[in-house]
Every structure is written in structure tokens, then in C-alpha cells.
A and B are shown apart, each in its own frame.
Chain A
Amino acid sequence: MSEPVLSVRGLKVYYATPDGDVLATDDISFDLERGETLGLVGESGSGKTTATSGILRMVSSPGRIAGGRVTLDGEDMIALSDEEFRKRRWSKLALIPQGAMNSLNPTMKISAQIADVVRTHTGAAPDRARVLELFQMVGLPERIYEMYPHELSGGMKQRVCIAMAVALNPTVIIADEATSALDVVVQRVVAQTLAKVRDALGVSMIMIGHDMGLMAQMVDRIAVMYAGKIVEIAPVADMFARPGHPYSKILIESVPSLTERRPMKITEGITHDPRNPPEGCIFQLRCPHVNDGCTKPQPMRELRPGQTVACHRAEELEGAHV
């Protein structure tokens, strides 16, 4: 296999509080292969967004990057000076932020906002033809060139954000819940746009989300996060056919079916205090299969080629229902 385009090793992002650090992203490692789409899933508060703000070095006080290495195209991102890193943002590593459609400046025309991104990073504003080319790439009509954000629908604004993200031909795009809060049909259109742009530019992508259905439609591999840790990484087909971690199973089984009416799986329980994670497995307080072995450290280990999991009972529980 060739060198991964992005490699994350032992990344830790902590938030300081008066009662100790919140371990929002705690020692996560993964690779993003060239041209690949990796899904990063988990519930609210699992550290997905914090992980990407670590990768993009956008962590602000009281948060800090407490350790780890991020390598993009062979270059250590954490060691770069702020100014050097700033030049990599957008041009090598672009973000479509969560709620991107609300991140547009309401007082600036759409075309001016796209031009602004390009000018800030290259020193020269793009010409009209380039902006229209970007519009076309994401399926936006020419007439919005002179429009303001409030004149567009949510789906169109989301596509403007995709156009911005690809404006500088980045190597990696991170899409943080790029299609949440949209109606299903519009969500499908935006997802379709994202996939088209990805394939046309050969860009690698990290898709953050909580919807396992959408992940099944869009990604090549999935990394599941729980309470700041990655608990499983697997190719999408293996993840759905043979999930190795009990939490992955719960995530998959909690997607309500449209073809079979069945009793719903109720999983309650509250996540531990993120300042004070339990010894051993991170999921033990909510896991239906917890036993004595779970208080021992659970490193990521290979279950089968390409599938790694942080659960000592993975083989034994294979096929078992949660």
C-alpha cells in the first residue's frame, strides 16, 4: 500500500477545567489513504469535531493539543510554525464546518466570499470564470454570483461551502456533518455533490457524522469514536456485516429500519465523566457484554485484515446481538 496522505498518531486534545482536563480526544490514531473517504462516527460529545480541530490546529483555549503527530503528505503538521501552517489550511487541508451554511457572512455576496478564501491564501483574487467553474462543479447556477446568502436555500448554501472548500484544490477535505439539518432529498443531493467533487478532483476526505445510514452510502472505511477514543476501524462492508465492537453494533442497530418493524433496542446509560475515564475499556459503563477483563487496557488490535478493534471479546461476541 502506498504512503497514506494523512496520518494521525496518538493525537490528544484536552480542555482544561477547574476540576481537571476533559479528555475530549484521547490518543487517537488513524490513516487516510489517497483518494479514500473515511467516515468518523460517534454520538454527540464523542470527540469527532475536537479531533478534526486538532488536525487543523484550530483548538483554542481552554483547549490544547496535548500530544500526538499529524503528518500530511509526509510533512509534520504539528511542528510547523503558525504562519507556515496557515498556508496549508484550505490549500492542502480544507474544512466544511458543521452548520457550514450558517457560517457564510450575511453581508457579503456569495462570489465575494469565495474570492476572499482564494485571495487570502494565494494573494490573488480569482476571476469570474474560475468562480463560475466552481459553481458548476457543485451544481450551482450562475445567477447566484451576485446573490447574498439569505437568498439561497439551505442545500444551496451547503454547496457554496463545498465550492469554497475545493477552491484551492486541497489534498484533504474534512466534512463535518456536511449534510445534517437538511431534508432527506436535499441531503441526498448535497451528498451526491460531495461525492462528485471528490471523484472529479481525486481528493481524500474525512466525513464526520452520526448517521450510520449516510455512512453506508458514502464512505470506504469507518472509524467509530466513543468518549474521545477510537474503538473500531473497518472497511464499510465489514463494519456493517461483522462489527467487532459492541458500541459499533449499537450504532448500526439503532438505525431504524424502513422495511421491518421490530422491537426497538433500548440502550440507556450515561457516559462517564470525561475528566475521569474508567480504567480499561472506555465503553464498559454502557456495554451490555462487560466482564472482569474489561478493566484491563484495551489497545486497538487486528480482528481481520483491515479491521481493528479495541475489545477483548470481539471474536467471542461476533454475530451476537447487543
Chain B
Amino acid sequence: MSDALLDLRDVRKVYGDPDTGLVALNDLSLTIRKDEPEIVTIAGESGSGKSTLANLVLGFTRPTSGQIMFDGTDVGNASAKQMKAYHRQVQAVFQDPFGSYNPFYRVGHVFDMVIRNFKLSSNKTEARQMMEEALNAVGLTGDDVLRKYPHQLSGGQRQRIMMARAYMVKPRLIVADEPVSMVDASLRASILDVMMRLRDEGGISFLYVTHDLSTAYQVGDRILLFYQGTLVEHGKATDVISNPQHPYVQLLIDSVPKPDPTQRWQGEIILPAEEELRTAHSTGCRFVPRCPHAQPACSAALPPAYEVGPRGHRAACILHAPPPQA
């Protein structure tokens, strides 16, 4: 167990009554190893449980059952003091690069706050050096940005500065919750590039929460796809996205608009009525109401994750159940 950096064991989060409430995350197990920094993408549509997972890992909310272990510390039951130490190891970058700044303070203020909060340094020259190093890691320099106000920077720069702020603490894991979804397409690459550099040069792992499969394909090592709180498919990002096996993931990938006018969408998709989609108390596969391959057995029990390809590619769909042994 000592080689696990983050280890989630059967983590379940239920909002409301544990028996009748909404299951936001259903018995998830996930391990990120210490010796192999990686970008793990957590993907799915709204309500799939991906932000719940981010909030659990950040310690903002506690699991209903199961355990979240980080390098031997039980995050779900940590004291306030342990949590502070934990946040030196696990940092966050959020979606909105406009809302993360106080518009009245210069950019340097976000770094001052972190240095003070974690007592990283009491020496001004040293503090400035730390800021410089962190900014250089994201391709910026202190002279360019520290004296500026947030509105003087582009969304892409602001988000890279947020990455630098997280990096300065020298964490081992960064939870990035939709870090590029509010940044213009032409500037997204710079943020994703920073994530890859921090992984390769800083040895930092990422939980990259997104609904955007194309960026996950470009930067993600592993991907986990969720539907209504359950993990439906996971594996290497390139394997899963180029060869999806779960009917939901197939629909999802086919719906990403291709930047090619000669390959337009074929066929019409009908969404069932909302109330038919609410399957919080279903015992079986959550995707049954929308699935073109649904059969009676699908509603009986949640299908296990069957092996569907190399490198740990698994999909929770009975279409992939191995044939019964003769």
C-alpha cells in the first residue's frame, strides 16, 4: 500500500438520507501511484459525480462510506491540523479564472497569501524567488505579471498563474476542476501544456476533471468516465476515446462536434423524458433508459467492469461479459 499516493476504496457519497438520498458517487475505487506521476481525467456530463469526486479528494466534503487515503492519511477523517498539512500536498485549480482573483489586489497578492498561509518563507527576497520560480514553470515572469491587476491579463494567463500558485506549494497532486472550460480555445493549449510540464518536470499528478473529451485525449494518461455517479468505462485515455466500448461512451464520443464539414452528424438522437432518466435508486445499469442495447438483465444488477481491451481498458456493460464457461 505504501506505493499509493492517493487511494480511494469503495468511496460512496450520498446526498440526503443514506438509504433514500441521491447517490452522487457510487462505490468508486481508484489508485494513483507515487512513482508514476500521471494526469487522470475524470469525465462525464453534468450530474455524473465528477465534481463530487473532486470535492471529496480536496476534503471539502466527506464520504458517506469508504475510505480516501493519501500517503497513509485518512482524508475522510482528518483533523483540521491534518487537513492543513494535507493541503500542502494536494492543491486545487478551479474553473473560473475570473472569479479566483480579488479584482482590487495586484496579482502578487495571491502568492503572498499562500506564502503566509503555509509559512513558506518569512524572507522577502526568498519569497520573491519562490514566486519567480513558480511563474517560470508556467512560462511567465514575475516582472510581467506580479504588479498587474487581474483584469490586465488574459483568461489563459490568469489560469496559468493559478497553476503557478498551486505549484509554488510543491504539492504532489493538483485537482484541476474544469481548468480550461472558461478559457478561449486558442489559449487552452498553454494551460494543458503547463499540466504536462508539471507532471514531467515537477513529478506532480493531476486529477483533471472535465466534460471535454478532446482535451482529455490530448493530455490525459488515464481516463475514468462517469454516468450518474457510476464509473462506466476506464482505461488509457487514447484507448478509451479511440475505441469506446460502453454504449454511453460511444454516444458521448460520437456527439463531440468534429471540426470537419465533410463529416457531419448522422442520425437523430431522441432524449427520453427527464423523469425516466432519474435512476438514482435503480439497482442496475444507470444508462438503461437511454441505451439502444438495453435488455432485462441490465436492470437486475449493476454490471461489473469487464475487461474490454489492453492496458486495463474496462467497461461496465453486460455486452462485454465473457461467455459462460462450458
* In the assembled complex, A28 has its CB within 8 A of some CB on chain B: no
Count: A-B pairs, CB below 8 Å: 126
A117 within 8 A of B: no
- Contact yes or no, A236 B185, CB < 8 A: no
Q: Is the CB of B217 within 8 A of A256?
A: yes
Question: Judging by beta carbons under 8 Å apart, are B271 and A264 in contact?
Answer: no
Chain A proximity mask over B211-223: 1 for CB below 8 Å, otherwise 0: 1111101100000
User: Assuming A250-B186, A257-B217, is B256 touching A184 (CB within 8 A)?
Assistant: yes
Size category of the binding interface on chain B: 35 or more
The smallest beta-carbon distance between B111 and chain A, in angstroms, is 20
B176 to chain A, nearest CB (A): 16
Do B258 and A210 touch across chains, with their CB atoms under 8 A apart? no
Nearest-CB residue, chain B, relative to A286: B186
Say whether B190 faces chain A, with CB atoms less than 8 Å apart.
yes
Quick check: is B155 within 8 A (CB to CB) of the other chain?
A: yes
The B258-310 residues at the A interface (CB cut-off 8 A) are 258-262, 264-265, 268-271, 273-274
Interface stretch, picked from A48-56, A102-110, A211-219, A312-320, is A211-219
**Beta-carbon contact of A44 and B189 below 8 Å:** no
**Residue on A nearest B155 in the bound complex, by CB:** A44
B218 touches which of A156, A257, A268 (Cβ 8 Å):
A257
A185 and B185 contact, CB distance less than 8 A: no
Q: Mark B181-198, 1 if CB is under 8 A from A, else 0.
A: 000111111101100000
Q: By the criterion CB–CB under 8 Å, are A43 and B217 in contact?
A: no
- Give the residue of A153, A188, A240 whose beta carbon is less than 8 angstroms from that of B265: A188
Q: Is the CB of B214 within 8 A of A189?
A: no
CB-based contact A267/B215 at 8 Å: no
Interface bits A144-156 vs B (CB < 8 Å: 1, else 0): 0000000011111
Q: B214 and A258: CB pair below 8 A?
A: yes
Chain B residues closer than 8 Å to A154, beta-carbon distance: 46
Give the CA-CA distance A141 to B212 in the complex, in Å: 29
Kindly state whether residue A265 has any CB partner on chain B within 8 Å: yes
Q: Could you tell me which residues of chain A, from 41 to 76, have a CB within 8 Å of some CB in chain B?
A: 43-44
Report yes or no: A217 in contact with B186, Cβ–Cβ below 8 A. Answer: no
A184 contact from B211, B238, B260, B271, Cβ within 8 A? B211
Whether B241 is near chain A, meaning CB under 8 Å from some CB there, is: yes
Tell whether A290 is near chain B: CB-to-CB under 8 Å: no
Q: Are A212 and B259 also in contact (CB < 8 A) when A217-B264, A256-B218 are?
A: yes
Taking CB atoms, residues of chain A closer than 8 Å to B193 are: 264, 266
B260 touches A210 (CB 8 A): no
Chain B min CB distance to A56 (Å): 24
Q: In the complex the two chains form, is A217's CB within 8 Å of B185's CB?
A: no
Contact A141-B259, Cβ < 8 Å, known A258-B217, A267-B186: no
Contacts A141-B273, A189-B269, A213-B256 given; does A183 touch B189 at CB 8 Å: no
Residue pair A258, B261 in contact (C-beta under 8 Å): no
How far, in Å, is A294 (CB) from chain B's closest CB? 19
Q: What is the distance, in angstroms, from A265's C-beta to the closest C-beta of chain B?
A: 6
Considering only residues 258-285 of chain A, those with a C-beta below 8 Å from chain B are 258-259, 261-262, 264-268, 270-271
Closest Cβ neighbor of B194 among chain A residues: A266
Partner pick for A255 among B154, B185, B255, CB 8 A cutoff: B185
Measured between alpha carbons, how far is A237 from B259 in the docked complex, in Å?
11
Q: Classify chain A's interface size.
A: 35 or more
Q: In the bound complex, how far is the Cα of B218 from the Cα of A90, in angstroms?
A: 43
Chain A positions within 8 Å of B260 at CB level:
216, 240
Given contacts A258-B241, A266-B189, contact A184 B255 (CB under 8 A): yes
* B45 contacts partner chain A, Cβ-Cβ < 8 Å: yes
Within 8 Å by CB of B186, from A43, A183, A240, lies: A43
The chain A residue sitting closest to B189, CB to CB, is A264
A120 within 8 A of B: no
CA distance A153 to B265 in the complex (A): 23
Q: Per-position contact with B for A164-196: 1 when CB-CB < 8 Å, else 0?
A: 000000000000000000011111110110000
Nearest B residue to A247 via CB reads B186
B85 contacts partner chain A, Cβ-Cβ < 8 Å: no
Is B257's beta carbon under 8 Å from chain A? Answer: yes
- Please give, as numbers and ranges, the residues of chain B lying within 8 Å of A189 by CB-CB distance: 269-271
B79 at the interface (CB under 8 A from A): no
B184 touches A268 (CB 8 A): no
Q: How far is the CB of A188 from chain B (nearest CB, A)?
A: 4
Q: Is B4 an interface residue (CB 8 A)?
A: no
Across-interface contacts of B238 in A (CB, < 8 A): 261
Give the distance in Å from the alpha carbon of A44 to the alpha carbon of B154 in the complex.
Answer: 10
B191 to A: closest C-beta gap in Å: 10
Whether A43 touches B185, Cβ cut-off 8 Å, given contacts A189-B271, A217-B265, is yes
Residues of B within 8 A of A (CB): 45-46, 139, 153-157, 184-190, 192-193, 211-215, 217-218, 238, 241-242, 251-253, 255-262, 264-265, 268-271, 273-274
* Interface of A toward B, CB cutoff 8 Å: 43-44, 139, 141, 152-156, 183-189, 191-192, 210-214, 216-217, 236-237, 240, 250-252, 254-259, 261-262, 264-268, 270-271
Q: List 9 A-B contacts (CB under 8 A).
A: A185-B269, A191-B257, A212-B259, A216-B260, A216-B264, A236-B261, A256-B188, A268-B157, A270-B157
